[in-house]
Structure 1
Amino acid sequence: MATGLISHPDGHDRCWWPGLDPLYVAYHDTEWGVPELDDRALFEKLILDGFQAGLSWITILRRRDGFRRAFRGFEPEIIARFGEAEVEALMADSGIIRNRAKIVGTVRSARAYLAIQERGPGFSAFLWDFVDGRPLQGSARDRADIATETEVSRRLSKALKAEGFGFCGPTIVYAFMQAVGMVNDHLVGCCRHAPCAALPGPRGHAARSGPAA
């Protein structure tokens, strides 16, 4: 018997991980697995996934507004200019996860992002090229069948590290790929699997499986 689906009061079956938390369910229903093509939004999500390391995503989600305020709307041009004074101010900000290594890593990542932007064609293209511009489609019916990292996430992780990004190991990168719709890992029985499968990436619709790639 497949496990991993939760039946909700609205009559829909959903992936297990948001439980019944309204904020988490809204994120599952409207953001997770939807192809994101915007450069800045992708940068924000990668940084937040790095902050999630060792924590649950709901912990970050509940602080997302605080992160956006503290990191100036996740505008890389601003973050790249942060110095010691800004880092110390962030370390005193209770609205975010106060981890010095991750804060300093965010500044380095902003500079790496700008370097990619400067040479073109942009951060979104850089990321989506790893899946040929088309979302990978997962086919898991059981939560145990969903990968935590793949060959693609390992390659992307290596490439991001080479560019100067921090906190982007293959497991973090795969969680990022799931969240921004580079791979559709909603369980097949989830009410969001089919709608996300119908959404195209920058070069069209998916044509191959995700975890096996």
Structure 2
Amino acid sequence: MTRELLTTGDDGIPRCGWVSDDPEYRRYHDEEWGAPLHGDQALFETIALEGFQAGLSWITILRRRPAFRSAFDDFAIARVARFDLATAEDLARDPSIIRNRQKIRATISNARTIDQLVAGDPGALDRLIWSHAPTKHGRPRTVDEVLTATDASTELSKALRGLGLTFVGPTTMHALMQAAGLVNDHAIGCARGDELEAEAKL
């Protein structure tokens, strides 16, 4: 759990308490986390990376994201859907990514399911995921209000599992909703959260 609600870096900008001094982590927080993300491919990548993150720290995934993109053909859904067992085994031996066979096979299987979903209906994954964005969501004011799952993420998990996707549990889907901007979960007092809140009102 986040130890502090907010942290202030050497630049004097208040940020969410989970942000470290790592430059890439800070950049990710300031430029990506919580900004509305659309597109079937972008959201497939987020599903995949959040699945790989399970049990690990996000910074571990973030530092390896370029390698993941290279290994999974930039997460082009149709291309990943054609990965075979030999490719999966090659990936399981790739030290530049997370060598977890279950997660690798799940990513390929999920790509096949999503490919069927969007092949004749581009944007279907985007619409499905965003249909679960809550109409109201309060930004955390205390550490105790920093949640790991919500009713909305549970419903999204059920919807994706209903399609046949795996590694899409409620906690993983809450992380996706935070990352992809379905909710603004930046802590109260975080400068980036304030910016996103103002942008949403425009």
| Structures share fold, TM-score greater than 0.5 | yes
Q: Quote the Cα distance in structure 2 between the aligned partners of 1:7 and 1:58.
A: 19
What is the TM-score when the length of structure 2 is the normalising length?
A: 0.93
Change (3 A) 1:62 1:3: closer
| Matched residue, 1:45 | 46
1:23 aligns to what? 24
Shift of 1:194: 1.3
Shift of 1:131: 2.0
Which amino acid is the alignment partner of residue 11 of structure 1? G
**Secondary structure of 2:7's match?**
strand
Shift of residue 168, structure 1, vs aligned partner:
0.5
CA RMSD of aligned residues (A): 1.8
Q: Is the 8 A contact 1:18 1:25 kept in 2?
A: yes
Q: Give the AA of the match of 1:196.
A: L
1:182 and 2:182 correspond = yes
Q: Look up the equivalent residue of 2:78 and give its one-letter code.
A: E
| CA displacement at 1:119 relative to structure 2 | 5.0
Residue equivalent to 1:113: 114
Q: Which residue of 1 aligns with 2:146?
A: 146
Tell me: CA distance 1:112–1:5, structure 2 relative to 1, closer, same or farther (3 Å).
same
TM-score (norm 1): 0.88
What percent of counterpart residues are identical? Answer: 44
Match of 1:76 in 2: 77
Structure-2 separation of matches of 1:199 and 1:119? 33
Partners of 1:138 and 1:186 within 8 A in 2: no
The count of corresponding residues between Structure 1 and Structure 2 is 199
Task: Mark the runs of 5 or more structure 2 residues left unpaired by the alignment.
Answer: none
1:198, distance to aligned residue in structure 2 (A): 3.0
SS in 1 for 2:15: strand
Of the structure 1 ranges 8-17 and 65-74, higher mean CA displacement relative to structure 2 is found in 8-17
**2:93 pairs with 1:92:** yes
The structure with the greater share of residues assigned to helix is 2
